[in-house]
Amino acid sequence: MTRFSAFSLFAKALGGHQGWPEQWPDAAPRPAYDAIIVGAGGHGLGAAYYLAKKYGITNVAVIEKGWLGGGNTGRNTTIIRSNYLYDESAHLYDHALKLWDGLSQELNYNTMYSKRGVMMLAHNVHDIQSFKRHIHANRLNGVDNEWLSAEEAKAYCPPLNIAPEARYPVLGAALQRRGGTARHDTVAWGYARAAAALGVDIIQNCAVTGIRRGLDGAVEGVETTRGFIASKRIGVSAAGHSSVIMQMAGLEFPLESYPLQALVSEPVKPVFPCVVMSNTVHAYMSQSDKGELVIGAGTDQYVSYSQRGALHIVEHTLAAICEIFPIFRRMRMLRSWGGIVDVTPDRSPILGKTPVKGLYVNCGWGTGGFKATPGAGDLLAYTMARDEPHPINAPFNLDRFRTGRLIDEAAAAAVAH
Amino acid sequence: MLLIHCPYCDEQRAELEFAYAGQAHIARPADPAAMSDEDWRDYLFIRANPRGRHHERWRHIHGCGRFFNAVRDTVSDKFEVTYKAGEPRR
């Protein structure tokens, strides 16, 4: 693996950046592996990397239907935060947040993780009460989160309109300073490169068409469009298509898949210093290093795999953005797209073992999986290596829908992630 | 935006007039007290979520206000048929 350094970048710059070698090989499937990960997004590649790096299983394949990082990893709005209400969620997301720190150094690849702060706006009395409850709960769990007055929020994010006569008056905000953004593509590429260097095969354009199970019910491998691949351990990290894959193993899951949209504006000079979310009017926004305003819209109301959403969803979000940030009213939008998010009834992920021996799952991240990328990868790898969940992801088991021990962030964490 | 045919109004109208109401043909338990935890899980939480033909309920909330059923392809989002509540599964 090429080791990136200031010197190597400078040396290659002198040559016009010609001659950079391929960062990871495009592998062809071998007949058998010690472990298979289905889905080469950030979560799946992360799991493969940690399996090889921390848990000593290097004979691993990551199988991807399309191209690497082409699903929700490349389609999200890159918001990173951990200010969730319930203890289980706070531990889960903060585990990921701690791994984001130092990830660029660990992978020797710049993930552009920027702790620019995530600010959530309160527009009414209910928001204030709810956010203050979150702040207190977060502090008890060692997660930073603080209350800002409207004036302090304006000082932190100058484009904000805090006029009392505004359509959506800002009464205050909750700020997580450790929150921020990262460059989504580089997270997938960084993990892919580091995993490949440890011996992991990354197999693209290879769709899983079936899961083969033995007489004892345990998994024996996956049928794919490029032939059968044997493995006693299969981890599924397939986001919106998780329930489709699970049905191949005969499992019905508590998941529904919805289109979620995002869009970016034309690139402009730095004008927006942080991430702002408004759950009440359903809008969230940040500015990428390239200069585009990155805007997240809502999900469509119906189940779909079409990877595109309706225009009125985008219009609704943009109307709210224009009210909260009047300076962007004449901004032109450049691109919009959709991804398919798998949503659980309690809006918390399912991460752990399944009733099928040797089959592990990481799904149900709904509209907010990107922030958890390193944590989800690490915990899926741990669960696959030890055949038991880590204490952090143990509460996020599939059985909670039978026992009723839900982790109900559906209302607590509000709509947007 | 979807165009949806309401079987009661017998008109094709914009999605904005309708509210999605989840998977169709999920029968309420006849004897709730006899249900096991697994039965409750299946009834409350497990959903088909197919890639392809999906039976679903819609409500013509800004029209006649009535619930009806539909079959829609979840890949193309194209409606195959809509039919009145109480009619057999298509």
Output DSSP code: residue A32. B
Question: Do B2 and A302 count as a contact with CB atoms less than 8 A apart?
Answer: yes
Question: Do B37 and A402 count as a contact with CB atoms less than 8 A apart?
Answer: yes
How much is the pLDDT for B74? 97
How much is the pLDDT for A20? 87
A34 contacts: CB under 8 Å, gap ≥ 6: A57, A58, A59, A60, A231, A232, A233
Average pLDDT, whole number, for chain A? 95
Confidence of residue A417 (pLDDT cuts 50, 70, 90): very low
Look at residue A413 and tell me whether its pLDDT is greater than 60. no
**B84 Cα to chain A: minimum distance (Å):** 19
pTM of the model: 0.95
Output DSSP code: residue A68. T
Q: Give the residue-averaged pLDDT of A109-127.
A: 95
Q: Give the residue-averaged pLDDT of A113-130.
A: 95
CA distances from B41 to A175, A259, A304, A403 (A): 37, 25, 23, 8
How much is the pLDDT for A151? 98
Look at residue B61 and tell me whether its pLDDT is greater than 60. yes
How much is the pLDDT for B80? 97
Distance, CA of B61 to CA of B18 (rounded, Å):
5
Judge residue A76's burial from the number of C-beta atoms within 10 Å of its C-beta, 0-12 exposed, 13-18 middle, 19 or more buried.
buried
CA distances from A225 to A30, A65, A128, A192 (A): 13, 9, 52, 22
Q: Which chain A residues are closer than 8 Å to B75 by Cβ?
A: 304-306
pLDDT in tens, A234-255: 999 999 999 999 999 999 999 9
> For residues A410 and A357, which has the higher predicted lDDT (pLDDT)?
A357
Q: Give the residue-averaged pLDDT of A192-208.
A: 97
How much is the pLDDT for A215? 95
Q: Which chain B residues are closer than 8 Å to A404 by Cβ?
A: 37
Confidence of residue A412 (pLDDT cuts 50, 70, 90): low
Nearest-by-Cβ selection for A252 from B16, B19, B46: B46
Look at residue A55 and tell me whether its pLDDT is greater than 80. yes
> Which of A304, A316, A341, A403 should one mutate to test binding to chain B, selecting the residue with the greatest count of B CBs within 10 A?
A304
Closest CA to A313 of A267, A258, A356: A258
Q: Give the residue-averaged pLDDT of B65-71.
A: 98
pLDDT in tens, B9-50: 999 999 999 999 999 999 999 999 999 999 999 999 999 999
The secondary structure of A260-277 as a DSSP string is: EEEEEE---SS---SEEE
Nearest-by-Cβ selection for B15 from A303, A310, A403: A310
Look at residue A416 and tell me whether its pLDDT is greater than 70. no
Q: Which chain A residues are closer than 8 Å to B54 by Cβ?
A: 303
**B27 Cα to chain A: minimum distance (Å):** 17
Q: Give the residue-averaged pLDDT of A128-136.
A: 95
How much is the pLDDT for B36? 97
Q: Is A205 an 8 Å CB contact of chain B?
A: no
Distance, CA of A410 to CA of A389 (rounded, Å):
23
